[in-house]
Amino acid sequence: MSANIKYVSTNNAPSPAGPYSQAVVTNGFVYVSGQIPLDPETRKIVSEDIREQTIQTLKNLGKVLEAAGCSYQNLIKTTVYIKDMNDFDVMNKAYGEVIGDARPARACVEVARLPLDVKIEVDAIASLNA
């Protein structure tokens, strides 16, 4: 591992399902891997409901950010992947409720399929200097 790279790991968010880190910190930035709506303890999908899936996904993202030494306020960019763009309004409202007054840049993309057939996945970039 390079001296300029720190791999983030926390039991408060689902562990990676493959050869990757929950997040990587380098040069003052935190790159968070895609988070999905798994309960970190049971590793089961929290619900089939897009609202509940969005809330859990963002809670997992928040726990990874916390383990990296920051919070939603440090977010500078998120990408939301949703299975059905018809869920956008519900997802968007829940997203706003969870991240509060943080306003990172964001993209939202409809995708054909996500891991474990969940309805949402979110990855992010945050700044430790924000």
Domain that holds residue 67: 5-127
Tokens of 71: 């919070």
Which candidate in 108, 114, 125, 130 is catalytic? 108
The stretch 82-97 carries a mean pLDDT of: 98
pTM: 0.96
Half-sphere exposure of 7 (CA within 13 A, CB side): 9
Give 32-71 pLDDT, tens digit per residue.
999 999 999 999 999 999 999 999 999 999 999 999 999 9
* CATH number, position 60: 3.30.1330.40
Give the chain's domain count: 1
70 is catalytic: no
Tokens of 113: 């399929």
Please tell me what DSSP assigns to residue 19: S
Nearest to 72 by CA among 82, 61, 80, 81: 61
- In whole numbers, what is the pLDDT of the chain averaged over residues? 96
